[in-house]
């Protein structure tokens, strides 16, 4: 037919058009930033990257560590990771000034280096829990390494304060079915978080303050860091966060680890 395609070409062109249409439909149904992760561990890591300020929603709610009743009361659970270290005392001093308590998820090898700081957390009414020995991704280790990471940290903390942690926070929030199962076998409650200002990235004091205050709700579990690097911005942000939350009527409680 004049002006038309040869018959031999019409079928391949039609097939190509169909493929393009299907691809366009798939792209419109999936947000560009939400590439599906390969595992539950990937879900946690992807959530941290895509929604860092209120991440953990993909994880089971009982792993937050906040009792259901606190989600109705004006209670916030402050948590600090990766210590003890040079900034732990400064964090504790600020918490004391505002009458706030917090749960510290500590690295075993840091506890061995600074047992006095671990004892100081307890003396001030805080809680010390397990954040593994050396901060590995627990979804990528063998069962024996998992056990060693947790048990060595338990021993270090017990040696410092005479108590064995009941809660475990997996580094990076990386969890999958094996992490939950292995934690249960060691009688550990997995605790994640619901508000993450990503203070570890040092986005600036004002950014940390804004991110926490914007996203806190009754029952929120806030993650910040007193170890693992320069935490001067976290220390500087903490007074404003505590002062504002107190004005809003919030109180600060410890994670319920049993």
What's the alpha-carbon Rg for the chain, to the nearest Å? 23
CA distances from 101 to 12, 70, 127 (A): 68, 15, 8
Catalytic site residue 137?
A: no
Q: Spot the catalytic one: 131, 154, 225, 226.
A: 225
CA distance 198 to 235: 14
DSSP label of 141: S
Q: Which is the catalytic residue, given 55, 81, 199, 215?
A: 81
The reply to whether 225 belongs to the active site is yes
How far apart CA 138 and CA 105 sit, in angstroms, is: 15
Helix (H, G, I), strand (E, B) or coil at 22: helix
Of 115, 12, 68, which is closest to residue 219 (Cα–Cα)? Answer: 68
* Catalytic (active-site) positions: 81, 225
């Amino acid at each position: 037919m004049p002006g038309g395609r040869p018959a031999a070409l019409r079928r391949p062109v039609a097939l190509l058009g169909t493929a393009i249409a299907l691809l366009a439909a798939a792209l419109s149904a999936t947000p560009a930033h939400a590439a599906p992760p390969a595992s539950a561990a990937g879900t946690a890591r992807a959530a941290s990257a895509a929604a860092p300020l209120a991440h953990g929603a993909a994880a089971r709610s009982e792993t937050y560590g906040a009792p259901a009743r606190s989600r109705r009361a004006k209670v916030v659970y402050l948590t600090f990771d990766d210590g003890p270290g040079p900034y732990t005392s400064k964090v504790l001093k600020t918490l004391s000034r505002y009458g706030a308590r917090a749960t510290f998820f500590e690295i075993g090898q840091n506890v061995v280096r600074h047992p006095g700081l671990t004892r100081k957390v307890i003396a001030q009414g805080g809680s010390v829990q397990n954040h593994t020995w050396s901060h590995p991704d627990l979804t990528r280790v063998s069962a024996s390494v998992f056990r060693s990471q947790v048990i060595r940290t338990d021993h270090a903390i017990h040696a410092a304060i005479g108590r064995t942690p009941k809660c475990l926070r997996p580094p990076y929030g990386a969890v999958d079915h094996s992490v939950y199962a292995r934690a249960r076998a060691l009688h550990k409650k997995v605790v994640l978080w619901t508000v993450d200002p990503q203070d570890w990235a040092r986005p600036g004091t004002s950014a940390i303050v804004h991110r926490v205050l914007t996203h806190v709700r009754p029952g929120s579990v806030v993650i910040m860091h007193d170890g693992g690097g320069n935490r001067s911005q976290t220390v500087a942000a903490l007074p404003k966060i505590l002062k504002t939350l107190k004005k809003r009527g919030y109180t600060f409680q410890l994670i319920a680890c049993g």
